[in-house]
Amino acid sequence: MCGILAVLGCSDDSQAKRSHVLELSRRLKHRGPDWSGIYQHGDCYLSHQRLAIVDPDSGDQPLYNENKTIVVTVNGEIYNHEELRKRLSNHKFRTGSDCDVIAHLYEEHGENFIDMLDGVFSFVLLDTRDNSFIAARDAIGITPLYIGWGLDGSVWISSELKGLHDDCEHFEWFPPGHLYSSKSSSFRRWYNPPWFCEAIPSIPYDPLILRRAFENAVLKRLMTDVPFGVLLSGGLDSSLVASITSRHLAGTKIARQWGSQLHSFCVGLAGSPDLVAAREVAEVLGTVHHEYHFSVQDGIDAIEDVIYHIETYDVTTVRASTPMFLMSRKIKSLGVKMVISGEGSDEIFGGYLYFHKAPNKEEFHQETCRKIKALHLYDCLRANKATSAWGLEARVPFLDKEFINVVMSIDPEWKMIKPEEGRMEKWILRKAFDDEKQPYLPKHILYRQKKQFSDGVGYSWIDGLKAHVEQHVTDKMMHNAEHIFTHNTPTTKEAYYYRMIFDKFFPQSSAMLTVPGGPSVACSTAKAVEWDQAWSRNLDPSGRAALGIHDSAYERQPIGAKNTISTKIVDDIPQMTGVPASALAMNS
Within 211-313, strands assigned E span: 228-231, 263-268, 288-293
Largest separation between any pair of C-alpha atoms in the chain: 71
Helix 493-505 with 296-310: angle, nearest 10 deg: 50
Residue 546: count other Cβ atoms within 10 Å of its Cβ: 22
Helix 459-470 with 315-333: angle, nearest 10 deg: 120
How far apart, in Å, are the Cα atoms of 277 and each of 14, 379, 581?
58, 22, 12
3 contacts: CB under 8 Å, gap ≥ 6: 25, 28, 29, 30, 31, 32, 48, 49, 75, 158, 159, 160, 163, 388
Residue 418: count other Cβ atoms within 10 Å of its Cβ: 11
Q: Angle at the Cα of 328 (from 492 to 122), degrees rounded to 5? A: 85
Q: What is the DSSP string of 514-571?
A: TS--SSS-SSS-HHHHHH-GGGGG--STT-TT-TT-----SPPPPSS--S---EEESS
- Could you say which of 2, 10, 99, 369 is catalytic? 2
Q: How far apart are CA 144 and CA 138, in angstroms?
A: 9
Q: What is the DSSP string of 153-168?
A: S-EEEESSGGGTTTT-
Q: Angle at the Cα of 566 (from 562 to 570), degrees rounded to 5? A: 150
> Do the Cβ atoms of 321 and 386 come closer than 8 Å?
yes
Q: How far apart are CA 83 and CA 86, in angstroms?
A: 5
Within 372-506, strands assigned E span: 393-395
Residue 143: count other Cβ atoms within 10 Å of its Cβ: 26
Residue 376: count other Cβ atoms within 10 Å of its Cβ: 24
Residues in the chain: 588
Of the chain, the end-to-end C-alpha distance in Å amounts to 24
Q: Is 44 a catalytic residue?
A: no
How far apart, in Å, are the Cα atoms of 445 and each of 268, 276, 280, 421, 442?
19, 12, 9, 20, 5
Residues facing residue 181 across a β-bridge: 134, 186
353 contacts: CB under 8 Å, gap ≥ 6: 450, 452, 523, 543, 546, 547, 549, 550
Residue 247 CB burial class (10 angstroms; 0-12, 13-18, ≥19): middle
Q: How far apart are CA 134 and CA 117, in angstroms?
A: 15
Pairing relation of β-strands 228-231 and 263-268? parallel
**Residues taking part in catalysis:** 2
